[in-house]
Amino acid sequence: MAARKKMKSNIRYFIPFCIFLVLIVFLWKSLEKNPYQLPSALINKPLPHFNMSTLNGNQRMTENNFLGQVSLLNVWATWCISCRVEHPILLDISDSKAVAIYGLNYKDNSHLADKWLRDYGNPYKENIIDPKGHLGIDLGVYGTPETYIIDKQGVIRYKFVGPISTDDWRNTLLPVIEKLEEEKRT
Amino acid sequence: MKWFFISWFIALFVQAAFAADIYPFVSPVEQVRFQKLTEQLRCLVCQNQSLADSNAPLASDLRNEVYREMRQGKSDKQILNYLVSRYGNYILFKPLINKATLVLWFGPFVILFGVVLFLVIYLQRRSKRGKSEC
């Protein structure tokens, strides 16, 4: 009888401790989550329809320009400091010819954008101009720089928010691109 | 007395500071609807503020979108869907009720109910035991 009472009181202390441990695990994991890294609502959806001018003046681009190859769509602007930070890595990627990089010049001034690319280098195959940010809204852009990985069917397969570091490229983006390269174009 | 009235008069103008942009509304009903819609939507840049309150450029752009959609005659549900399909469920302040969020919405009530039930049974048992030991 006495032994049973003792076991009962031990369990009484044990249960709140277990609940505490479970809570700690959940809270600890949440600390690692970044509320600015929002999952994109457009994953596995095709690029939205658009028809917009490019930085090169006379050309226009639509979502069909993305068919037939795996490509990156990098959203950037001259007023965006983080874009300046990731720019050298974009130049490296473009030099390595691993994947075509298209730019979306978001809510920017074309003259400034032109000068910026001439001063710092141009990693982009082509640049879409989006001065009002309409295509940005259709893509769910909320903070530059953002980079989309688009497959051969023109479907958005991955979205990377924030400046790309060399590690991000090697460990996160490149594996996705290599996997998409192996997919056949339908 | 004079200062009392003057300070009240000045206080009336403080309210206007909340509206970041000015839209031409057809009626006060429309304006209230716009206010209600933008208060339900989260600013993704300043994430604790609604689209109604935030001064971020994106919030201004999205308020424009809401206004545009309203002018085109879209319903509240259509406008919210328009934004959710581009930005995801996080743009709504109230999480949708679906399988994934059942625990979030009802979990606390279930736990509360369980604890109260446990307490009631425990206290009843204790009082019963107490009576027999007297």
Q: Which pLDDT does position B47 carry in this prediction? A: 86
Q: What is the pLDDT of residues A43-91, one digit of tens each?
A: 999 999 999 999 987 889 999 999 999 999 999 999 999 999 999 999 9
Chain B residues within 8 A of A107 when measuring between CB atoms: 57
Distance CA(A170)–CA(A57), nearest Å, equals 34
Q: Read off φ and ψ for residue B29, nearest 5 degrees.
A: -60, -45
Across the interface, of A35, A133, A137, the residue whose CB is closest to B86 is A137
**pLDDT value of residue B120:** 93
Mean pLDDT of B6-35: 75
The separation between the first and the last C-alpha atoms of chain A, rounded to the nearest angstrom, is 75
pLDDT at A36 over 50: yes
Pair of tokens at residue B68: 């545009």
Cα–Cα dist A53/A135, whole Å: 12
- Residues in chain B whose beta carbon is closer than 8 A to a beta carbon of chain A? 44-45, 47, 57-58, 61-62, 65, 84-90
Rounded to whole angstroms, the Cα distance separating B129 from B134 reads: 9
Q: Is the pLDDT score of A24 beyond 50?
A: yes
Cα A3 to Cα A10, A105, B66, B122: the distances in Å are: 11, 75, 69, 20
**Which chain A residue is nearest to residue B62, measuring alpha carbons?**
A137
Predicted confidence (pLDDT) per residue in B59-78, tens digit: 999 999 999 999 999 999 99
Q: Does A40 touch chain B (CB under 8 A)?
A: yes
Q: Do B65 and A137 touch (CB under 8 A)?
A: yes
> What does the alpha-carbon distance between residue A155 and residue A44 come to, in Å, rounded to a whole number?
6
Say which residue, B12 or A147, is predicted with more confidence: A147
Which pLDDT band, with edges at 50, 70 and 90, does A15 fall under? Answer: confident
Please give the model's pTM, rounded to 2 decimal places.
0.79
- The ipTM value here is 0.80
Whole-number pLDDT of residue B14: 56
So what's the pLDDT on residue B75? 93
B58 Cβ partners below 8 Å, 6+ apart?
A142, A143, B43, B44, B45
- The verdict on A49 touching B (C-beta cutoff 8 Å) is no
| pLDDT cut 90: percent of chain A above it | 78
Q: How many angstroms separate the CA of residue A57 from the nearest CA in chain B?
A: 26
Q: pLDDT (tens digit, 9 = 90+) per residue, B83-111? A: 999 999 999 998 888 888 888 889 899 99
pLDDT-derived band of residue B17, with 50, 70 and 90 as boundaries? very low
Tens-digit pLDDT profile for residues A91-150: 999 999 999 999 999 999 999 999 999 999 999 999 999 999 999 999 999 989 999 999
AA letter at A79: W
